[in-house]
Structure 1
Amino acid sequence: MSYKYLLLIVFSWSLQVGANDTINIASDEWCPYICNEDNKPGILIEIINEIAEAQGYDVNFTLMPLDRSLRLLQQSKLDMVLALTKEHIEAFDLRQSQEVYGGLYNDFYVSNETQWKFSTVENLKNFIEQGNILGLINGYEYGSAVSRLKETSGEFIFLASGDKPLSSALKMLSKQRITVLLDSRFNVEYEIQDKKITNLQYAGTQGIFVPLYIGFAPDTTLNYISTFDKGLIKLRTKGQLSKILQRYGISDWHSKK
């Protein structure tokens, strides 16, 4: 074996070890779960950092659009993507945590000047087809009823994208460039308070609480996934999770399961 070839093997092994010691994560901004602030990086970022530190891992987090991060995770170019629904997991053939890491509701928001309130998806369909625009976030899953609405009434739907899609969509709603926004109350209310937006109001909810999971690359071992699930359980048991949630004004989703 040549000296050059031996160096190549050693270098390749070193890269593999380095990759295993660093957790590569990507998601879009979706406060309070995933934020872009040094002092408040987000609930899920803080949870993963606590677990990773206890296991001796480094964390490399990149802010990017959700649809791109899902494609990279599917190709095993990332280790995990945060705050995913079961629909995301299944659609991209990913592995998922067994523990729940947050949750969402399908909540509607409108400007204070808009009188419409959500009652049924058919009611929503009729409203937007009168020329009103529904704002959604590109790559997000809202359930089968909303998916059908995207197919039948897509011309009346705006898909926000980018690294901070919810923030962008709320600005558009506040300026009445869209008429209705669908997202989760936890995230919308956090953004409204943080950005001091005063001209928006809640307009109803479709469906029930939807649990969120961590999505892992398809080749991830079950033992690796279990490390994070056990870490979350430990954080909850020791009261550390409660302290993290209190900083963001969010209650534990465990009671909603």
Structure 2
Amino acid sequence: MKKWVCIYLLGLATLAGAESPQRLLIVSDTWPPYVTGNPVRPGFDVEAATQVLQSMGYDVTFKLVPWKRAMKMVEKGLADGLLDASPNEERSRTFYIPQEPMSYSVSTLFCQSCDTSRPITNELLKGKRLIVNRGYNYVGTLEEDPDIEQLPVDSFEQGFAALNAGRADYYIVNRYVGLHALKQLGIDGVKVMQGHVAEPSPVYLLFSRQPRLMSLPTSFSKALSDFKKSSEYQEILRKYGLVDE
């Protein structure tokens, strides 16, 4: 009798374990409006990633940490996913990268005394000072040009404060992020260029290279692609005043 009771209890425990959702810890740094840190409006990529993973049966926890630490956490397996990262060769060796991007980043220049209609070229910035964010993987050649002096900063607040104070001529930032930051900071004297630095570049939810997550990028890509066709996704974009790119 005791033997059958033990088997029954073991079966219940196994069933309960099978029904319990697998937990995922997703990390990123603030990158509003993609990632905001606001519990009511956490960011449109945070909301999209959370809804997709929950629909796949995962219990998702999102945590804000500085960008470099976030990358290290996922690299070491202390977190499961890194939200809104641009791909490169090193990251393709370090993380699992889904085929479907979360969204796209459109980088442009912000300035004070400038003609916003001028084309954005290396020639425009020669002899100028360009603000860049440390640890960011930019698309294009502006930040690699030795004739363009760089002023590295650790946050968008620092970057726009430096630009507003006249410590630099231009600031390379994602268009949506820059406009959101200016609104939050209450800065009126900074303008945004009409053009963009390069073609829109995709950003992804990168996954830690843990054996248990090996198949997740493929299934997540399919679920995310389907979700982008839904009314729920369009509602998220409308909530943040964005359009589907």
Which of these two proteins has the greater Rg computed from alpha carbons?
A: 2
| Cross-structure match for 2:91 | 90
Q: Which runs of 5 or more structure 1 residues have no equivalent in the other structure?
A: 1-15
Q: How does 1:32-71 map to 2 (within 5 A)?
A: 32-71=33-72
Q: Which runs of 4+ in 1 moved over 4 A?
A: 114-118
Q: How far apart are the structure 1 equivalents of 2:152 and 2:203?
A: 21
The offset of 1:232, in angstroms, is 1.7
Is this contact kept in 2: 1:22–1:57, CA < 8 A?
yes
| Cross-structure match for 2:188 | 198
Worse-matched range after superposition: 77-86 or 203-212? 203-212
Relative to 1, partners in 2 of residues 1:98 and 1:89: Cα closer, same or farther, differing over 3 Å? farther
Q: How far apart are the structure 1 equivalents of 2:233 and 2:79?
A: 25
The offset of 1:237, in angstroms, is 2.7
The offset of 1:70, in angstroms, is 1.4
Q: How does 1:51-130 map to 2 (within 5 A)?
A: 51-87=52-88, 90=91, 93-111=94-112, 113-114=113-114, 117=118, 119-124=120-125, 126-128=126-128
The offset of 1:89, in angstroms, is 5.8
Name which of 142, 145, 158 aligns with 2:141.
145
Q: Secondary structure at the match of 1:206?
A: coil
The offset of 1:171, in angstroms, is 2.8
One-letter identity of the residue aligned with 1:230: K
- Number of equivalent positions: 226
The offset of 1:166, in angstroms, is 2.0
Is this contact kept in 1: 2:159–2:171, CA < 8 A?
yes
Is this contact kept in 2: 1:70–1:92, CA < 8 A?
no
Name which of 225, 228, 231 aligns with 1:239.
231
| Cross-structure match for 1:229 | 221
Query: Sequence identity, in percent?
Result: 20
Q: Secondary structure at the match of 1:237?
A: coil
Q: How far apart are the structure 2 equivalents of 1:36 and 1:167?
A: 15
TM superposition score normalised by structure 1: 0.77
The offset of 1:38, in angstroms, is 1.5
Name which of 209, 220, 226 aligns with 2:200.
209
Worse-matched range after superposition: 189-198 or 234-243? 189-198
Q: How far apart are the structure 2 equivalents of 1:88 and 1:191?
A: 30
Q: Which runs of 5 or more structure 2 residues have no equivalent in the other structure?
A: 1-16
| Cross-structure match for 2:4 | none
Greater percentage in helix: 1
Is this contact kept in 2: 1:89–1:215, CA < 8 A?
no
TM superposition score normalised by structure 2: 0.80
Q: Structure 1 residue 158 and structure 2 residue 151: aligned?
A: yes
Q: How far apart are the structure 2 equivalents of 1:88 and 1:71?
A: 16
